[in-house]
Amino acid sequence: MKSKIDIILDEKYMYYVQSIKDKLEAQSGSTYENNWLEFAFQVQKGTTVIFEMYEFFILNMINELVRELPNHEIKLLWLRTDHFIYYDTGDPHFYAGSVEMEQAVVKEIYSILSSKAEREKLPLE
């Protein structure tokens, strides 16, 4: 059973993931109708070079989003990352550096977004 904190963190992450997905859906793609479907295709079946281009593009979008978040929000989201588990010293006053926390949050959002893209039903080709 998930704790209330885990549920809140899930909701926060899904909000940010949906925000990135919405931005991708608003951009027209080359093969599919939008960049979200293009990304989903690349995650599921894509070629390395094109996938890497989408990955770079989307990681930049996520970086921009995370840089705009207040520090307290990044600290909260960081609690859900693998990076936090690595740094969990038991000291409630210890935090990793802000850049490290930001990058851990970016990786977590990207991981959730990629998982969502893996499950996306693609239109028939």
pLDDT tens readout for residues 60-97: 999 999 999 999 999 899 988 887 655 556 665 566 66
> Is residue 95 one of the residues assigned to a domain?
yes
Q: In the prediction, which pLDDT does 69 show?
A: 96
pTM for this prediction? 0.87
124 within domain boundaries: no
Please report whether residue 108 resides in a domain: yes
In which band, very low, low, confident or very high, does the pLDDT at 48 lie, cut at 50, 70 and 90?
confident
| Mean pLDDT across 84-111 | 76
pLDDT for residue 79: 86
Domain count, the chain: 1
Question: What number of CA atoms fall less than 13 Å from residue 34's CA on the CB side?
Answer: 11
What distance in Å separates the CA atoms of residue 33 and residue 91, rounded to the nearest whole number? 49
- Would residue 70 count as lying in a domain? yes
